[in-house]
Amino acid sequence: MPFSFPASPSVGQTSTQNSRQYVYVGNNAWELVAPTAIVSSVAGRTGAVTLTAADVSGVAASSATGITGATAITNIVSMTQSSYDALGSKSSTTLYIING
């Protein structure tokens, strides 16, 4: 299902897409808001549980394990070429999709 973010968002504005919440951070970039939850058990594990992609349905994992020079992707943003060019620094863990 394609995303349909607001056309003229303000910094800090949120939008829910495909049951996930995103926050507008400026420069035509949206970031996924990590859900906050207290987890006491997952798949029979208790205590300080660290979730993995296998524990959550609908999550595509990004792994750079065994690939020299590779970095896992943790964020995806869609923006215009001019917005991308205007970024002061770019993240090696962000996939930038240039549109328009």
CA angle 62, 68, 94 (to 5 degrees): 40
Whether 22 has a pLDDT exceeding 80, the answer reads: yes
pLDDT per position as a tens digit, 32-81: 887 666 666 777 777 776 777 677 776 667 778 888 888 888 888 898 99
Q: Which residue has the higher pLDDT, 34 or 24?
A: 24
Tokens of 3: 């995303």
Which pLDDT belongs to residue 35? 67
Q: Are 24 and 12 in contact (CB under 8 A)?
A: yes
Which pLDDT belongs to residue 81? 92
Which pLDDT belongs to residue 4? 83
CA angle 26, 28, 34 (to 5 degrees): 70
Which pLDDT belongs to residue 84? 92
Strands 94-99 and 75-80: parallel
Whether 25 has a pLDDT exceeding 80, the answer reads: yes
Which pLDDT belongs to residue 33? 83
Q: Is the pTM of this model over 0.85?
A: no
The CA dihedral of 42, 44, 46, 48, to the nearest 10 degrees, is -50
Which pLDDT belongs to residue 18? 78
